[in-house]
Chain A
Amino acid sequence: MTHLGERRLEQYVLDELDGPRRDAVEAHLATCAACRQRLADERALDEALVLSAGTAPADAAERSLAQLWATLDAEPALAAPALTPRPAARRGRRAALAGPWLSVAALLVVTATLVLWHAGDDSSSTPRAVDAERETARVHTDAADAASERPAEPSLDPGEAQPSEPRAARPATERAPPPAPAVLPGASLDPLRLESLRSELAADLTALELPADLLGEALTAAAEPVLAPLRRQAWPVDALLRSLALEGDAAVAPLALRLAQADPSLASVLAAALDLRPAEVLGLLERDGAPLARSTSLLRGLERVADPRLGDPALAGRAQRLIASRDDARARAATARLLDRAVDAARAAPAGVTCLADLTRHAPLDLALTTLLRAGREQALRDTCRAVFQDRVMADPEQALPLLVERLEDRGQVDPLLSFCVGTGLEGLAAPLLARLEADPGDDGVLATLVDLGGVEVALGLHRIGSDEQGRAAKRLSESLQLVLAGEAELLERLSLRLADEGSARLVALAEQLPAELRGVALRHGLDRWRDDAGGHGAALLTALARLGRPADGLALLEQLPSLAGSDLLALAWTTAARLERDAALVAYGRAGGDPQRLAAASRASGRRLAAGRRPPASLLDPLARDLARLALP
């Protein structure tokens, strides 16, 4: 097998490969333990790099900013940034107001006034439209009033005028209808008028610092009409939403998160929110899907949450499932990293085993199976891995089995898979596995261990494979099984009983492979089971005994088979004459009652069989034939 070159591995680690080349590397990694180890080393190097950079205190940014502002305030000469003049229109508007809150109030009042003036001047306006506009004015004015009650921030621009009266909007308020329960803008407005208002509002939002709740309402009513102008004017929408998502109150933050969720370009907002509001973000992603394919930062954020060492294990499990449920390239790479870490955690603590099981139940099938095969070699993880592996394969065997065989080039993966196939009755999968074993024989001890651990079921499966398949590996499999059986009398008994139920063929096959002293043990169970089947399995087993050079056993067993007809015995004697001793044939003749006619008939029948190609060597046949003839024709 050709291993990955250093450069290609670097490219993979640094995420520089395009789709097909990345897929090729991943396909190789799935089957090459050596390259996986190299990759793990590279990942460990990355992890060490990240960890060695340390982590900043949670309030590091605030402390830096506080220090910056303190420095600037303490030294006024430093405080002035290099400002460029603002556009005249904005300066004019801002100059008329003191602070952002007052600006909001004035803006909304002006908007409401314009709307009402426009409505009054427009003779085509319907009463409903006028009412709607009045409603808009009321809502906006209420918001402005609320905003005006907040303390105004000091202006940073010394050129700005002093604040105007906050209640300058009162005349517009007086023209509005009496107070009513607040509704969101747009709840009862004419769509065209609402669109116009939204556009006006959106244009001005870019220049004003709106309170979070007001902005939240505006965004609720008109997310896209508001966000689109913001983007066009290069407003840092992600920073805005990040602020709302991370620092907004309980009512606003979910809204900002939802908006970020709706726009894949804002996935970084969700990523940032994952650190502060992981449960909320996870809930959102679980409900609406995660745009992981387009966001490295979100994926990395999820990976952080998914690491149970770093936070809440319950949330870690949810994050793991989210990542594992995706099958795109980046998510797959993340899942592979999670699986590697999960195996390590499972080795370290029992709680990690549950985590590994959970993750492998949700991971893409190929990644999950590869991991389970690898981890299942370890005694402590074997039962869990086996259970999950079996569930995953059984849930979709058509996809799972070819996938496994296709990916199995590594000798180390063959044994556990073979073990699984044998243990679960999927011996049909064994043929390609044996082909792999033939190419790379490996260690016989593995198969012995398989039988040792799996008992009669595994022995039965291995025996089936050894009987059905051709080739060196199947032969070696059988030999390994026989070695185990030779030392495990009880296992041999149980296996023989199971095989006897299936008939004579497999039992005979087993007996043929056993050492001579064990053949009688194996076949006896068959004869017990088939003693009344004189012409079928019983005779076949007797024949086998004779053919395998155990005529004495055969003759002893004959005594236990009263239903066997004399002619059958004679036929048996003739058929097996090459190996039966003469005395055995004579005993058979005696059991048949010494009837010459029957002997002659049996001889003719057997003679035809002999003529058909099973003729024994003349040196053995001739003396026996002479004796038989002398007995039959005295």
Chain B
Amino acid sequence: MTTIASGRRDPPPASLAGDRAAFSELVRAAHGAARSLATRLLGNADDADDALQDALLKAWHGLAGLRDPAGFRGWLLRIVYHQCLDARRRRSTRQRYELASPPTRPVEGPDRSAQRELLARVRLVMDELPPKQAAALHLRVHEQLEYSELAPILGLTPASARVYVVKARRALRARLGPDGGLS
């Protein structure tokens, strides 16, 4: 049952591999960011939870490859990102269209409905962006990651990560229109 990988990698910290408590601790610290990234890339919470579950399973099995527990968050985000790419590939165009459709007529007052409409438009535009751009912008703005932190998650250099963030931002601004509904 136990796979021995000696000779292939440096040994991981003794307290991590196979240790559910330590793994849980690390997951709790990174779960919010991971789920948020998955929701951003897949557009809805159900698909995000599924992808995150698959990613956690992969992380559990790949824990031996993690040398530094302090890098767990970035490592998990990278797994989640690739898991979401797989999920997007599997998802049909029709499903994506349905998921990205704006919400039905809101029942709240005008201010709240305007905000809901704006958020729906932002989601729609983000869903239309290339996933790497969307992920880069999300990690930078939502998670406040430095470029040096988000670059390895997406398989980029920090400089190219910055380019992705800026492109995504400009695309978002352009597609929201001149007023954007932001003011």
Contact = CB atoms under 8 A, between A and B. Distances in A.
B173 interface: yes
A18 B70 CA distance: 27
A90 B183 CA distance: 61
B14 interface: yes
Q: Is the interface of A mostly helix, strand, loop or mixed?
A: helix
Interface in A190-231: 206-207, 209
B17 A64 contact: no
B2 A80 contact: yes
Interface in A157-191: 157-159
Interface string B155-183: 00000001001100100110010001011
Interface residues of B, number: 68
Contacts of A394: none
Contact of B70 (A82, A209, A236): A236
Interface residues of A, number: 59
A296 B19 CA distance: 31
A628 to B, nearest CB: 76
Contacts of A56: 31-32, 35-36
A422 to B, nearest CB: 33
Contacts of B137: 49
Nearest to A37: B183
A272 interface: yes
A45 interface: yes
B25 A243 contact: yes
A169 B163 CA distance: 62
Given A52-B119, A52-B122, A54-B39, A83 B64 contact: yes
Nearest to B68: A234
Interface of B: 1-6, 9, 11-15, 17-21, 24-29, 31-32, 35-36, 39-40, 45, 49, 52-53, 56-57, 60-65, 68-70, 72, 115, 118-120, 122-123, 126, 137-138, 140-142, 144, 162, 165-166, 169, 172-173, 176, 180, 182-183
29 contacts: A14-B140, A14-B166, A41-B180, A41-B182, A41-B183, A44-B183, A48-B118, A49-B122, A49-B142, A50-B141, A54-B39, A60-B32, A61-B31, A64-B35, A65-B56, A72-B60, A78-B57, A80-B2, A82-B3, A82-B17, A83-B2, A83-B64, A84-B17, A90-B14, A156-B18, A207-B14, A207-B15, A238-B29, A239-B29
Given A37-B183, A53-B39, A235-B15, 12 more contacts: A14-B140, A45-B173, A50-B141, A60-B35, A64-B52, A68-B57, A81-B64, A236-B26, A236-B70, A238-B70, A239-B29, A239-B69
